[in-house]
Structure 1
Amino acid sequence: MVTGRKIGLTLLLIVLHFFAFSQILNPIKWTSESKQINDNTFEIHMTAILEDTWHVYSTKQGDDSGGVGIPTSFTWTDNKDIKIVGEIQEKGKLLDVFNELISAREQYYGGKVTFIQKVEVAKATKAEVEIMFQVCNDEGCLAPDYKTFSFDLKPKKSTTQNKTLDAEEGDSAEDNNELTSTTDDSNDSSTEESDADGAVNLPAPDLSSANQDVDNTSESASIETNVDVKEPSNKGNRTFWEIFIFGFLGGFAALLMPCIFPMIPLTVSMFTKQSKTRSSGITKALIYGISIIVIYVALGLVITAIFGPGALNALATNPWVNIAFFVLFIIFAISFFGAFEITLPSKWVNKADKGADKGGLIGIFFMALTLTLVSFSCTGPIIGTLLVESANTGALLGPAIGMFGFSLALALPFTLFAIFPGWLNSLPSSGGWLNTVKVSLGFIELAFALKFLSNADLVWQAHWLEREIFLSIWIGIFFVMGLYLINAFRLSLDSDDNKIGVPRLMFAILTFVFVFYMIPGLWGAPLKLLSGLTPPKNYAESPTGFFGGGGLTNNASQLPENAHYGPHQIPAFYDIDDAFAYAKEVGKPVMIDFTGDACANCRKVEDNVWSDPRVMAKLSDEVVLASLYVDRMIELPEEEKVYSEVKGRKLRTIGDKWSAYQIEKFQSNSQPLYIIVDEDLTHFNEPMGTELNIDTYLQWMDEGIENFNKSN
């Protein structure tokens, strides 16, 4: 009996695993209606309703943004009785975000969006429009799809017609959609729809209506933002723990600044000497530390309350704001180098100092406030850096958590040294080394400044700071920092001591090691430790670095016929028939890679898994890779524009072809999907989706390759 249950459970798990890769995702529904606004003018409303986490792109997506998502577009069937009036309008909450993974700006809608087109009709007629759209979430995109609506428009009668359809169903409008009237029943008119099933002969995408172009990407299209849509999360943002740790490290760095470090023994001594008992001194130190935390956390909350979490995230990705941060960080760096000091108004410090004279709990709080204000010349740049990074969480508590980490690190020494005053004897004496710390942070601020300039450059696609230039500047900055740490030169505020201590020497060595680590990046090395900081590899003068030096091979003659260099220069076929022909010739299995240009998880697997030398070797030598892009909008040859049962219409683009192939052969429409097969499409293991564990991915590949070899 137990054995039977185990077998049944095993079979159930196998079935569930199969269906996990066999589901057809269906995250969008469309509704349409026409509204008569005067005798011969109508508004055509086409509304997309999306499931949680999914979005559809604006008609403006791709306008100088560099985004890879397919913009929603509308093609009207040529009709001499219809005149298109103005540009198409979009009504919804437009999200304008910078996608760090693909280094491009994207404009899209989540939840619900209505596209509105005004038309004028000369007489009773039928208007037909085809919508091309693509839906995506944070993990990837489905292949672009089409919908066709038709509307019976009768002038001089007020009519509204409405219907709903599922964006993935291929059934006819008569079977699936109920026509409802929202105005006078006597003026009802039926609305027909071609549900993307090929029943209506559609024009080529560039045809106009009544000799008037329908410009769907015009900058003059008005965007209303009165629909409450939950903004999708950005998985590339820092977590709260990362922000806390970043803040804590920033607070620790601030402790070593000349404005704060000398204050530790002075403040602790004051508490211990003015207190009649040891416990009283500890209590005062605790209140002092808590006051520091309260002040900085309050600062984080105030900043968020003023701007809001969404505004902070938008500011962090806005190119002009990034330019402003670039200038600000340059100023911070120059300040740390000793050219000038950034200070708050002296009257603020004087008022806080007067409050400290009151004594008691209030006096201790004002002592903490005085420290905060006096030390701003040292902590200001660090706090500014922290708040900018915290903004990228896009969450209400991001800046507050960052400030909590910063203030906790700042407050701990004052409290701990009050509890254990003997530790004060182990503190190093103040001296020139404090200025060395400050100058070193100046070099780091200078490097961060370049990151903000790079962010703006990537959004605008201006190619000011391509990967090689960015790395060259960083190499120069940290090389000079290394020279400074070994005392090769001094700045104006440095002491005249020619000797360097062991800690300074160790930091100098680490700095030079970092420089040497970056140098191979100029020749195309991936530099995984700097992922997210440097521009992506494809944003470069050459994707393989200077002189074409980065990759497995650069000899195009080594590529099989009809193959191309894919990620990490792994040979890949973009046509399944070419892949099968070559695989038969060399006796290898085909690994099908259903992917997309806008597939975020595809890029994650390629960047984090395929970059492993063991995986690269297997992809290059043990399988024939067929990368089939389901969102490529390249027009198919006329002979390949055949009717697809699974799509319910004729195939038009290469993306259409491979999307239909994936659905028909493997009952799935999500990417990435990896399958190891032979020319008969025999599976040699279970399909694999997103898998970022390299060992698991290798085991999966080994299983498929081994089973193929056994069968042959």
Structure 2
Amino acid sequence: MKRSAFSVIIFWSLFIASTFAQNPVNWKFKIEDKGNGEIELVADASIDAGWHLYDTQIPDGGPYPTGISIDEIKGATPIGKFHAVNSKLHKEFDKVFEMEIGFFEKSATFVQRFKVTDKAKFSLKGDVRAQACNDRECTPPIPVDFSYNSKNLPATVTVAGGADIAATGAQDSVVSSPTDTAQAQVTNIDIQVDKSTLWEPVIENLKVYGATGNQSDQTLLMIFIAGMAGGFLALLTPCVWPMIPMTVSFFLKRNKKNKGKAIKDAATYGLGIIVIYVALGLLVTAIFGASALNDLSTSAVFNLIFFALLVFFAASFLGAFELTLPSSWTTKIDSKADSTTGLISMFFMAFTLALVSFSCTGPLIGWLLVEAASTGAVVAPAVGMFGFALALAIPFTLFAIFPSWLEEMPKSGGWLNSVKVVLGFLELALALKFLSVADLSYKWGILDREVFIVLWIVIFALLGLYLLGKLKFAHDSDLKSISVTRLFMAIISLSFAVYLVPGLWGAPLKAVSAFAPPHFTQDFNLYDGSVHAKFDDYEAGMEYARKNNKPVMIDFSGYGCVNCRKMEASVWTDPRVKHSLENDYVLITLMVDDKEKLPEIIEVEENGKTVKLKTIGDKWSYLQRHKFGVNSQPYYVLLDLEGKPIGPSYAYDEDVDKYLNFLKTGLDNFNKNK
């Protein structure tokens, strides 16, 4: 049961027993002149021995906080929040509510400041509500009324100047804070803001603050590293590994008297490999277009296609069938290499390698291009292919420079097939990520977090058993004994499967947070360290923020956003970040790939064209592009009550201290501008 539901049960169960009981808190009110046309409503609470009442700031799901509700106000406007002064605040961890809670004993003083705008018409009516508890029972938040008019004002009070009135935007009515939730704490002026204002572009405003976190650079670096890792894995496959000594020997034999020429040919051959694969990456960008890459990553159809494609590739690696390109292609390219000389010859030889090794490199290239396209970066596919090709090209050049190393190379054998099988298991695990994105986007609910984790546990357990020789495929050679390398890999795989087990009960599993579905999809969750947004609608969240006078953090996210899950698992779970997001801000998470249909299609003008927004994701993606000039996720921006930035934007950067500074900067600016 959630803590919020638990607190409601406690509240209503104690209400009947306490309704007619004497209030253990005695309240006294008075008005004090603070000068410059400002007054304070002072609420002194005298608390019976053994009882305590709670602070005005209580985390979500906790007991009822002490708060003020203003029913009528004329000739004055509130300033700031209702808060405690000159009172000793105790803080303890409450086992019932499972959180640290502030409370007062014996006595407490609370104040709410006002600016007087019309002394003759001054009128103030409302009540203070507080929940008092002892070791055995609690009272409901009993309202204690107060009422003042112009006669009750101290004689020394002066009226604020007209210029001050205009600056503060004074008005004669206050919308009361909601009293049916535990989050209600203080009544503030409900500043009416036109909804169209909330959508006005603030790109220039953001430039003043700059940005924190360099997502694009980090993303491209990670794609490059992933490309190199894929290239080195491809080297260990049966399609590529035997080609290394054959190709290098060909260079050396063709240039027996000129070793320098052999090295030059090998280097040119390696350069040809790089050119071919980088050209493939550029071709992907040219076909889909820069702006379409990010849309593709969030498309359910796109993710379903690649789920099926990766399962197909995995089946090939596991030995179900062999992927080969038409032999005529290879023959033609090979004959071109024999009939030409110089650079052109080396290029056709490199092309031959690309075609011959396709059955092994194809699945790796397909996965890499999908990941690169998912980043939305224009050059990501080319950067990924450059890393992949560089890893493939390096051995050919090095072995040509140091031919004696060829004798020390492990000979081809059954171990190469084992590499393919291992890659097959890994492709099968990664395929589930693409199915998960489609499932989340369309809210099918077929691959919740625990189902995903169960499948991964089975896959990596089977991989461990395969490495130990307990699972065998038809094309595997006999394994009389296992090597130390296989043993270590089996230990890693089986340990990883065991590591995943606590995730079935909600453990964060930070190592796989980028792949696993979000926590909110888990049906049985014992973990309470994750952060959940209070709102998933921009305008509703802004409305709540205005009524509660709190700054807003917009989290532009996506179901298929890998880096979003990383940030949520590694940064948001930090206790300091979690506390700030839950208490200092109104957190609004907007999923740009939510495929739920809008009640009606919205037509907007963008870059001189009419764009139709058909889904909720379309709406939030347009908001991000139109208002902030950004189209990548994760993207965090801090706003005031009118939708204006109060600090720098933040992209993907897992530095917790930077993120805390980002949050603190926004909060400080919000408080200064109030």
TM-score under structure 1 length normalisation: 0.50
CA deviations on 1:643-674 (whole Å, 9 max, x unpaired) are xxxxxxxxxxxxxxxxxxxxxxx976569999
Matched residue type, 1:260:
V
CA distance in 2, matches of 1:490, 1:316: 36
| 1:374 aligned onto 2:356 | yes
1:262–1:671 Cα change, 3 Å: farther
1:315–1:668 Cα change, 3 Å: closer
Aligned residues of 1:599 and 1:671 also touching (Cα < 8 A) = no
Identity across the alignment (%): 50
Matches within 5 A, 1:608-647: 608-612=570-574, 619=579, 625=583, 628=586
1:631–1:539 Cα change, 3 Å: closer
CA distance in 2, matches of 1:689, 1:421: 50
Aligned residues of 1:592 and 1:627 also touching (Cα < 8 A) = no
Q: Which residue of 2 aligns with 1:242?
A: 222
| 1:344 aligned onto 2:337 | no
| 1:420 aligned onto 2:402 | yes
Matched residue type, 1:550:
Y
1:448–1:238 Cα change, 3 Å: farther
Secondary structure of the equivalent of 2:194?
A: strand
Matches within 5 A, 1:551-562: 551=528
Q: Which residue of 2 aligns with 1:274?
A: 254
- How far did residue 390 of structure 1 move? 1.1
Matched residue type, 1:375:
S
Q: Which residue of 2 aligns with 1:518?
A: 500
CA deviations on 1:243-278 (whole Å, 9 max, x unpaired) are 111111111100000011011111111111120211
Q: Which residue of 1 aligns with 2:671?
A: none
Secondary structure of the equivalent of 1:459?
A: helix
Aligned residues of 1:595 and 1:672 also touching (Cα < 8 A) = no
Matched residue type, 1:264:
I
Q: Which residue of 2 aligns with 1:640?
A: none
CA deviations on 1:549-581 (whole Å, 9 max, x unpaired) are 2236xxxxxxxxxxxx96599xxxxx9xxxxxx
Q: Which residue of 2 aligns with 1:288?
A: 269
Matched residue type, 2:436:
S
| 1:479 aligned onto 2:461 | yes
Cα RMSD of the aligned pairs, angstroms, is 4.3
Match 2:244 to one of 240, 251, 264: 264
CA distance in 2, matches of 1:456, 1:602: 16
Matched residue type, 2:392:
L
1:144–1:406 Cα change, 3 Å: farther
1:539–1:355 Cα change, 3 Å: same
| 1:304 aligned onto 2:285 | yes
Q: Which residue of 2 aligns with 1:335?
A: 316
Secondary structure of the equivalent of 1:418?
A: helix
1:384–1:607 Cα change, 3 Å: closer
Q: Which residue of 1 aligns with 2:336?
A: 355
CA distance in 1, matches of 2:360, 2:564: 43
- How far did residue 341 of structure 1 move? 0.8
CA distance in 2, matches of 1:299, 1:376: 13
CA distance in 2, matches of 1:501, 1:630: 53
CA distance in 1, matches of 2:354, 2:394: 15
Matched residue type, 1:551:
D
1:267–1:167 Cα change, 3 Å: closer
CA distance in 1, matches of 2:243, 2:195: 69
Aligned residues of 1:259 and 1:375 also touching (Cα < 8 A) = yes
Aligned residues of 2:550 and 2:641 also touching (Cα < 8 A) = no
Secondary structure of the equivalent of 2:519?
A: coil
Matches within 5 A, 1:299-698: 299-361=280-342, 362-542=344-524, 544=525, 549-551=526-528, 567=532, 594-595=551-552, 607-612=569-574, 619=579, 625=583, 628=586, 693-694=655-656
Secondary structure of the equivalent of 1:357?
A: helix
CA distance in 1, matches of 2:198, 2:533: 39
1:566–1:430 Cα change, 3 Å: closer
| 1:146 aligned onto 2:194 | yes
Aligned residues of 1:457 and 1:463 also touching (Cα < 8 A) = yes
Aligned residues of 1:285 and 1:418 also touching (Cα < 8 A) = yes
Secondary structure of the equivalent of 1:391?
A: helix
CA deviations on 1:210-259 (whole Å, 9 max, x unpaired) are xxxxxxxxxxxxxxxxxxxxxxx995997221111111111110000001
CA distance in 2, matches of 1:374, 1:329: 20
- Worse-matched range after superposition: 440-449 or 291-300: 291-300
Matched residue type, 2:363:
P
CA distance in 1, matches of 2:192, 2:297: 30
- How far did residue 497 of structure 1 move? 2.1
Matched residue type, 1:250:
G
Secondary structure of the equivalent of 1:538?
A: helix
1:238–1:439 Cα change, 3 Å: farther
- How far did residue 412 of structure 1 move? 0.6
TM-score under structure 2 length normalisation: 0.52
Unmatched 5+ stretches in structure 1? 1-142, 149-164, 170-232, 553-564, 570-574, 576-590, 633-665, 675-686, 703-712
Matched residue type, 1:611:
T
CA distance in 1, matches of 2:493, 2:589: 44
- How far did residue 628 of structure 1 move? 4.5
1:488–1:631 Cα change, 3 Å: closer
Secondary structure of the equivalent of 1:442?
A: helix
Matched residue type, 1:345:
P
- How far did residue 309 of structure 1 move? 2.1
1:630–1:497 Cα change, 3 Å: closer
Q: Which residue of 2 aligns with 1:158?
A: none
Aligned residues of 2:506 and 2:522 also touching (Cα < 8 A) = no
Secondary structure of the equivalent of 2:520?
A: coil
1:433–1:145 Cα change, 3 Å: farther
1:509–1:273 Cα change, 3 Å: same
CA distance in 1, matches of 2:235, 2:455: 29
Matched residue type, 1:146:
D
CA deviations on 1:383-409 (whole Å, 9 max, x unpaired) are 111111111232332211111111110
- How far did residue 529 of structure 1 move? 1.9
- How far did residue 425 of structure 1 move? 2.1
Aligned residues of 1:594 and 1:630 also touching (Cα < 8 A) = no
- How far did residue 498 of structure 1 move? 2.2
CA distance in 1, matches of 2:198, 2:554: 25
- How far did residue 313 of structure 1 move? 2.8
1:256–1:593 Cα change, 3 Å: farther
Aligned residues of 1:281 and 1:418 also touching (Cα < 8 A) = yes
CA distance in 1, matches of 2:326, 2:315: 20
Q: Which residue of 2 aligns with 1:100?
A: none
Aligned length: 399
CA distance in 2, matches of 1:602, 1:414: 39
CA distance in 1, matches of 2:239, 2:582: 62
1:283–1:144 Cα change, 3 Å: farther
1:237–1:524 Cα change, 3 Å: farther
Q: Which residue of 2 aligns with 1:53?
A: none
CA distance in 1, matches of 2:657, 2:462: 40
CA distance in 1, matches of 2:589, 2:283: 44
Unmatched 5+ stretches in structure 2? 1-190, 202-212, 535-540, 542-547, 558-562, 591-638, 665-674
